[in-house]
Structures are given as structure tokens and as C-alpha cells.
């Protein structure tokens, strides 16, 4: 049994990671302040092998017991959240990463930080390999998230090179599945919520921009494989099957049996036109690739989460 500390463990990805680690027989310490996470995501994780610590990672935090792995997943991750919390997003990427790395150094733990495909910005190389340095607007509205993650990667590598911390960096591409927040502003939860209510599905721009969507169980499998490897370089984890947003909207309509129509709205500032991972490294170094196709994953999400959860309640 290993002891794993997960920052942001009550969030969408963090809670699924906690589930998977516990299923593998590990002890889990979940650290979160519920800025964007939810107690509902972890209420089922009760027992001697799960501990919840209510902390804001932008402040120093410590644990008394030995820790073998630190998974740093704390951060606002959707445009709605990081536009609402721009300074906090930057602080989590900087102070929060610094504190999590310090804890990993103290315990001589393996450290994995959750980076993002957003480090590639609106890419001029397609698909995006880990060797691509990106095309990011550092002062645009999305810059607070993009640059926070780019800084977190730089800080992680500095701790590895100078302090000898055993680190890993996962670059996560668009992910979906149960526990998505219906009002978080991202494409799949928004489309599913609108479709289930038979409301117009809002597609930004012409809908020709592309994304690649990975089902959450595939993503978590890749992350755990990376954590258990000796790899220090960034590794893309995502589904390389690419869809336009129009194709995604139609898939959601088909899976939900909705009567929704598709309408178009203005494209947000700095919205990437393409996004597709090159997963050659993940295949070669981890023996990993996704197995869940988009429509199957949408059905699993609908069946597991339930219609009421995906429709959500309108926030105050």
C-alpha cells in the first residue's frame, strides 16, 4: 500500500483519481478547498484509507504521515472558473505548485503535476507533440490559466534538476465523463445539459474548430501509468481522435435523443482552432492509448451520471 496525496481531489479529475488509487489498494489523502470541487464527488469515499484535508494549496500545508506520491491536480480548469478567479488561478499554478513540490521533497515522494494541452495555446503545429513549445497569448483572458500551467511545468523541472525531486508532468487534453459540472462552460457538459433540456445547442464560431475528447477512465489509467514510471519529461495523455464541434454537437443530440437545434455564437478571444494530441510517447513509454470511443463515452456518461445530474441546477 502506498500513501498518495491528491491536491484538488474533490474536483472532476481529482475525484476519479482518488477512486482509482483506492481501488488499487492505496491510502489517499485528499486536499481541497472546494473552490471548484464538490463534497458530492468524494462523499462515497469513507473509510480508514481515505482522509480529507480542507486546505487552500496557495498557503503552505503539511501532513505528518509518510507520503509516497503527490498528485498536484488543484486548479480552476474551465474558462468560466479561471476568468472568475484569475489571480487565484495564477497563485495555484505558482504558490500551490511550489508548496506541493516542497511537500514531495520533504517526503521524498514521486510528484506528478497535472498540466494541460492549453500550454500549446492556439497551436501552429498539428497534432501537438510534447516537443512543441506552443503559441500562447500571455496577456489574453486565457493567459492566466495557460501561463499558470506553463510556469508550473518550469517549476516542476527546476525542482527535479536542482532539488532532485522525482517528478512527472502530464499534459491533459479535453476529458469528459461522470461528475462534470453542468455549468462549467466546456463543450461536452454544456452540450449535454442543453440537449437534455431540448434547448438550442450553442456552438461558438462556425463549429469547424476541432477538439479531441478522452473518456475519464482512459485518462486516469494513463496518469497512473505515468506516475508509476520513471519518466520525468512531459507526456500527452488524451484521445487523438479529432472532431469538429459541430460533429460533437450532433453526437450529443444523437446519444441523448434530443430535439435540440444547433445555434451559433461569437467565438471567444484566443479560442484554439485545433487541438489534437500526438500520443506517440504515451504509446512507446507507457504502453497506453485510449479505448473508449466518443459516442460510447457519451452513453456511459449519461447512464452513470444520470439525466438530473447532467442537467444541473441553475447556479445562483
Catalytic residues: 145
The burial of 49, by beta-carbon neighbours within 10 Å (0-12 exposed, 13-18 middle, 19 or more buried), is given as middle
C-alpha cell at 5: 496525496
Instruction: Please report where in the chains the cell 437545434 appears, as a residue.
Output: 261
Residue 103 burial (10 A CB sphere; 0-12, 13-18, 19+): buried
CA distance 252 to 38: 25
Residue 226, classed as helix, strand or coil, is helix
Pairing of strands 242-244, 210-212: antiparallel
CB atoms within 10 A of CB 50: 19
**Cα–Cα dist 209/271, whole Å:** 9
72 neighbors 93 (Cβ within 8 angstroms): no
C-alpha cell, 83: 476568468
Nearest residue to 187 via CA among 79, 35, 115:
79
Q: Which residue spans within 122-261 are E strands per DSSP?
A: 167-172, 175-176, 201-204, 210-212, 214-215, 234-237, 242-244
DSSP state of 96: I
Amino acid at each position: 500500500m502506498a500513501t498518495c496525496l491528491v491536491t484538488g481531489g474533490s474536483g472532476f479529475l481529482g475525484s476519479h483519481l482518488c477512486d482509482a488509487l483506492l481501488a488499487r489498494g492505496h491510502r489517499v489523502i485528499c486536499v481541497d478547498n472546494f473552490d471548484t470541487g464538490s463534497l458530492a464527488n468524494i462523499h462515497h469515499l469513507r473509510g480508514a484509507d481515505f482522509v480529507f484535508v480542507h486546505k487552500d494549496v496557495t498557503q503552505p500545508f503539511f501532513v505528518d504521515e509518510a507520503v509516497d506520491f503527490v498528485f498536484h491536480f488543484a486548479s480552476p480548469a474551465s474558462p468560466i472558473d479561471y476568468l472568475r478567479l484569475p489571480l487565484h488561478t495564477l497563485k495555484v499554478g505558482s504558490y500551490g505548485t511550489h508548496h506541493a513540490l516542497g511537500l514531495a521533497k520533504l517526503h521524498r515522494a514521486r510528484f506528478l503535476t497535472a498540466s494541460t494541452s492549453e500550454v500549446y495555446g492556439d497551436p501552429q503545429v498539428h497534432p501537438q507533440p510534447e516537443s512543441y513549445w506552443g503559441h500562447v497569448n500571455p496577456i489574453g483572458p486565457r493567459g492566466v490559466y495557460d501561463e499558470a500551467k506553463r510556469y508550473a511545468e518550469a517549476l516542476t523541472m527546476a525542482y527535479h534538476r536542482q532539488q532532485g525531486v522525482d517528478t512527472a508532468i502530464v499534459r491533459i487534453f479535453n476529458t469528459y465523463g461522470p461528475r462534470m459540472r453542468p455549468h462549467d462552460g466546456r463543450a461536452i457538459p454544456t452540450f449535454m445539459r442543453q440537449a437534455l433540456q431540448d434547448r438550442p445547442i450553442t456552438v461558438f464560431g462556425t463549429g469547424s474548430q476541432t477538439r479531441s475528447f478522452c473518456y475519464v477512465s482512459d485518462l486516469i489509467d494513463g496518469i497512473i501509468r505515468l506516475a508509476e514510471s520513471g519518466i520525468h519529461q512531459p507526456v500527452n495523455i488524451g484521445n487523438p481522435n479529432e472532431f469538429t464541434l459541430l460533429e460533437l454537437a450532433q453526437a450529443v443530440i444523437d446519444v441523448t435523443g434530443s430535439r435540440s437545434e444547433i445555434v451559433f455564437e461569437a467565438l471567444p478571444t484566443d479560442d484554439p482552432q485545433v487541438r489534437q494530441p500526438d500520443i506517440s510517447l504515451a504509446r512507446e513509454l507507457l504502453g497506453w492509448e485510449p479505448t473508449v470511443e466518443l459516442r460510447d463515452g457519451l452513453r456511459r456518461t449519461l447512464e452513470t451520471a444520470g439525466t438530473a445530474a447532467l442537467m444541473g441546477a441553475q447556479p445562483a
